[in-house]
Amino acid sequence: MIRLLLTVLVALLLGTALALGLQYDLGYIRVSYGHYLVETNAWIGLALFLTLVVASVFVLDLLRRFRRRSGDLIGWLARGSERRARHRTTKGLLALAEGNWPRARKLLTSAAERADTPLINYLAAAQAAFEAGDHDAVDELLRKAYESTPGSDLAVGITQAQLQLAGNRLEEALATLLRLRKQSPHHPFVLKLLKNTYLKLEDWKALAKLLPDLEKRNVMSDGEFHALQREVWHNLLEQAAQDCERRRREDPQASLEPLTRLWDELPGFLRRDEHTIRDYARLLAKLGDEPQAETLLRKVLRNHWSDELINLYGRIRGQKPDEQLLLAEQWLKDRPNNAELLLALGRLSLRNELWGKAKEYFETSLRLRRSRETLAELSRLNAHMGEEEASIQLMMQGLAQDNGLPELPMPRA
């Protein structure tokens, strides 16, 4: 009520002041612009000026409000687009998980430009295109992924290498991974993918060079790493033996230097590993250097017993077969019930033409453990000693044992 009274009072005062002011002649206002001339009373000119000011303020305020509401409208529309993009991305990822490759690719690609993380959209779309077998689209989507997000070259490169590996495009995967390794020499996942690529390519030399980095970066567990080491060096030994074999075909007197040099390069723990020793000795014997293989096995067996190695020792002819037999018989004193050693002694006895002793060793070994190998050796020896019936009986026992025949009544001869 008080505010209303004050407003009416101010209006009356202004009206009184204006009425009094109009009684005075303030002159006139004259405005000339080009060929135009405007003349008016000063009071009317002042009223027009005030009207123009008020209109300008009103228009500017109207423009500000319109601009703010337009911005709100644009923001609302943009937020709507982002919401739709997120929704389509979610549906696309679900389609990818469900194996609906065409739908997943379509949804993820269409939402990529408005998505919060376009890199994820393009990478997932590339996965869908790969599963659908469209390799050209894969490359294009990976290019868009790279362009969509600065600093994404490593993520895009790793995805590309994974898809190339999965598609068995090994040479392309290798080129991609070597490029990535230059950028990030110690990245564990890049090293792991590179290891998998070399394994598929069977590039054992390159894999051997990679082993120190794999160990240093803990890319694999200790067990997996040692198994990989054995596999790598085993294959390298095989390749070196093949190289020696080719040389021997051209020159029967060629040395076994490629194989023996590689043995010297082996890590210490592998040179003490019985499986690696067995492989190396077997390759030496296969290439005709049985004396060197026998020397190696003798040294190892003196300090580290292995049934696997004694079996191989019994198959190899050393420079002095009689000394071989005597040495093995010394080992028998400490291992009188070792079936594998007895089998080796039987073979060494045969090499020294001690037929009766060989038969005794074979029979003793067979009593301790029935094995096909011992059965075959004893059967062969009996046949050559004129004991055909005993040989046939042993062969029949071996066949029955190998095929798991049940005990059944049989007619008497």
Q: What is the pLDDT of residue 117?
A: 81
What is the distance, to the nearest Å, from the Cα of residue 299 to the centroid of all Cα atoms in its chain? 41
State how far the Cα of 115 lies from the Cα of 113, in Å rounded to an integer: 6
Task: Determine contact, residues 276/315, Cβ cutoff 8 Å.
Answer: no
Distance (Å, whole) CA 355 – CA 350:
6
Q: What is the mean pLDDT of residues 171-194?
A: 94
Q: pLDDT digits over 217-242, tens only?
A: 999 999 999 999 999 999 999 999 99
pLDDT at 156 over 80: yes
Three-state secondary structure readout of 181-238: HHHCCCCHHHHHHHHHHHHHHCCHHHHHHHHHHHHHCCCCCHHHHHHHHHHHHHHHHH
- Judged against a pLDDT cut of 90, whether residue 49 lies above it is answered with no
Q: How high is the pLDDT of residue 398?
A: 64
**Res 377: pLDDT:** 86
370: pLDDT strictly greater than 90? no
Structure-token match 């405007």, residue found? 38
Strand, coil or helix: 366: helix
Report percent pLDDT > 70 for the chain.
77
When pLDDT is averaged across residues 281-294 and rounded to a whole number, the result is 93
Between these two residues, 105 and 79, which has the higher pLDDT value?
A: 105
Q: Does the structure show a pLDDT above 80 at 26?
A: no
- Whether residue 76 has pLDDT greater than 80: no
Average pLDDT in the 362-387 region?
87
- pLDDT the model gives residue 278: 94
pLDDT at 291 over 50: yes
Cβ neighbors of 274 (< 8 A, separation 6 or more) are: 300, 304, 306, 308, 309
pLDDT for 236 equals 94
Length of the chain: 413
Res 185 pLDDT > 70? yes
pLDDT at 329 over 80: yes
As given in the structure block, the two tokens for residue 379 are: 């059967």
Please write the tens of the pLDDT for every residue from 127-143.
898 888 888 888 888 89
Quote the pLDDT of residue 15: 57
Where residue 307 falls among pLDDT bands split at 50, 70, 90? very high
User: Residue 413 has what pLDDT?
Assistant: 53
**Of the listed ranges 78-82, 295-299, 345-349, 360-364, the one predicted with least confidence:** 78-82
Domains, the chain, in order of start with CATH, read: 221-319 (1.25.40), 327-400 (1.25.40.10)
Average pLDDT of 351-379? 91
> Nearest CA to 328 among 355, 380, 281, 336?
336
Which range, of 13-22, 284-293, 373-382, averages the lowest pLDDT? 13-22
With 60 as the cut, is the pLDDT of residue 43 above it? Answer: no
Find all residues with CB under 8 Å of 202, minimum gap 6, and list them: 235
Q: Which residue has the tokens 């040395």?
A: 255
- Choose among 188, 155, 85: nearest CA to 93: 85
6 is written with which tokens? Answer: 């004050």
The reported pLDDT for the residue numbered 315 is 94
Q: How confident is the model at residue 326 (pLDDT cuts 50, 70, 90)?
A: very high
Residues 6+ apart with CB under 8 A from 316: 281, 285, 290, 293, 294, 297
Output the average pLDDT for the chain: 83
Of 140, 71, 154, which is closest to residue 112 (Cα–Cα)?
140
Average pLDDT rounded to a whole number, residues 135-161: 88
Block residue for tokens 């029955």: 400
Report, as an integer, the average pLDDT of 40-68: 65
Q: What residues does 29 pair with on adjacent strands?
A: 40
pLDDT at 383: 81
What distance, in Å, lies between the first and last C-alpha atoms of the chain? Answer: 139
Mean pLDDT value across residues 20-27: 54
- pLDDT value of residue 343: 95
**In the structure, what pLDDT confidence band is assigned to residue 145 with cuts at 50, 70 and 90?**
confident
Residues of the chain with pLDDT > 90, as a percent, come to 44
Flag whether pLDDT at 394 surpasses 90. Answer: no
Does 94 score more than 60 pLDDT? yes
